[in-house]
């Protein structure tokens, strides 16, 4: 009985840690992750044989990054994520946000792993 209870506790806690993906027609839900809110323009994107998918990934109800995925090659073409440290941010001459971050040591993994249901 204790083993079953432990399994249920582990299962329910893992259930909360799932990362969900959404295949979308455009990046409107995750465009903030791209430079100037626009995904990069790549010349080969209009080739239908690549079977590309725009994916917005979220944890809970918050989007964290956008990915262009090739179903043909089964690899991501690019991903975008917002790195922001308000204490070390500057505004460039054109008004763009410049993030300055110093790497003082190698960071260890935070120990929390997430998985995406397939």
**Would you call 75 helix, strand, or coil by DSSP?**
strand
Is the residue at 29 inside a domain?
Answer: yes
Residue 58 domain flag: yes
| Whether 68 contacts 18, CB under 8 Å | no
Our count of domains for the chain comes to 1
Would you say residue 57 lies in a domain? yes
Contact 77, 42 (CB under 8 A): yes
Residue 63 lies inside a defined structural domain of this protein: yes
For residue 24, tell me if it sits in a domain: yes
- Confirm if 78 and 65 have CB atoms less than 8 A apart: no
Q: pLDDT tens-digit profile of 87-107?
A: 555 555 555 655 555 555 555
CA atoms in the 13 A half-sphere facing the CB of 7: 4
The DSSP letter of residue 106 is P
Give the model's pLDDT for residue 12: 46
Domain that holds residue 75: 17-84
In a domain, 12, yes or no: no
Q: Note the residue count of the chain.
A: 118
pLDDT of residue 96: 61
- Per-10-residue mean pLDDT of the chain, 118 residues long, equals 48 51 73 84 73 82 83 87 61 56 56 62
């Amino acid at each position: 009985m204790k083993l079953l209870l432990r399994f249920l506790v582990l299962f329910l806690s893992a259930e909360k840690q799932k990362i969900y993906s959404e295949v979308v027609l455009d990046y409107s839900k995750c465009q903030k992750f791209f430079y100037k809110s626009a995904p990069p323009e790549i010349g080969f994107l209009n080739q239908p044989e690549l079977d590309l998918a725009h994916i917005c990934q979220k944890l809970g109800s918050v989007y964290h990054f956008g990915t262009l995925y090739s179903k043909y090659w089964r690899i991501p073409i690019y991903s975008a994520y917002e790195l922001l440290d308000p204490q070390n941010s500057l505004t460039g001459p054109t008004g763009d946000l410049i993030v300055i971050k110093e790497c003082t040591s190698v960071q260890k993994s935070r120990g929390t792993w997430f998985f995406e249901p397939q």
